[in-house]
Amino acid sequence: HNPANLVGVRAFMKNLPNTPMIGVFDTAFHQSMKEESYIYALPYEWYTKYGVRKYGFHGTSHRFINKTISEFMKRDDLKVISCHIGSGASLAAIDSGKVVDTSMGFTPTPGVVMGTRAGDFDVSILPYVMKKENKNIDEIMNDVNKKSGLLGISGISSDARDIAAAVEEGNERGILAYNIYTQKVANYIAMYNNLLDGADVICFTAGLGEMSRPFRKGIIEKISSLGVKLDSQRNEDVFGKFGKISTDDSKIPVYVVPTDEELMIALDTYDLIN
């Protein structure tokens, strides 16, 4: 994203030279992670020499979700699992406003399955397929980032709406993509619940989180061992708006919280220039 963003930055610097310029980074909120969360089990010198570590992304969104649900529940000590699941997807485990861990890493490629990104996988696959397909590193990384995920599995689309339709039609690869996606997100929720020693709330946001009833249903059904229960009627009623979708006796309440990254950027800009 940076080259495209810099075009805009340079245009504003040229045309509005005396206007304060503020950079708001998607990695900023995740800077509260401890070393055990952001250091990879790779040669430590890669971190000290080249900055190889987990940075995480969607931080502006995760921060907005945490702020919104904390204000709603009138608590500043909440343990939140924030699920930003859209074409790009990441989860964050947040304790009292600080990120404990997040699913994206050095780049936005790892973590859960996404629209066209692979998420976590065995990196040794890359040189193996490069030799088989006679591809260079740029070509293979393009495959991992733009031809994988829901699109790669299904062969249909990167759009969750198309996948949900394929599931209804009984398309085998569509069903496979749906099952893999929902399972990977559920796995991260379970892991982060353990990391937080029991979450207080789970929040869904972004395209799928706010508007895909079938994907929310599939994810919640796969974390029933945590005592999480979906209220089917609430799940149907909540579409693109704030609302609870779990039952009242669910061990962990689940909310849909529409994100507003633009508002967070505006607020940060206002605070910094003042």
14 alpha-carbon distance from chain centroid: 34
Residue 112 to residue 149: CA distance in whole angstroms: 9
User: Whose CA is closest to 84, among 122, 111, 55, 116?
Assistant: 111
Residue with tokens 């893999």: 180
Both structure tokens of 252: 């962990």
Distances in Å between the Cα of 223 and the Cα atoms of 61, 69, 185, 226 are 23, 21, 10, 6
Cβ-Cβ contacts under 8 Å for 185 (sequence gap 6 or more): 83, 85, 89, 91, 112, 113, 219
Do residues 202 and 252 lie in contact, with contact meaning Cβ atoms separated by under 8 Å?
A: yes
Distances in Å between the Cα of 229 and the Cα atoms of 103, 171, 219, 224 are 24, 27, 11, 6
Question: Is 26 annotated in the active site?
Answer: yes
User: Whose CA is closest to 154, among 132, 139, 174?
Assistant: 174
User: Whose CA is closest to 82, among 209, 198, 183?
Assistant: 209
Q: Classify residue 126 as exposed, middle or buried by CB count within 10 Å of its CB (0-12, 13-18, 19+).
A: middle
CA dihedral 36, 37, 40, 41 (to 10 degrees): 40
- The one catalytic residue among 26, 95, 101, 231: 26
Residues with catalytic roles: 26
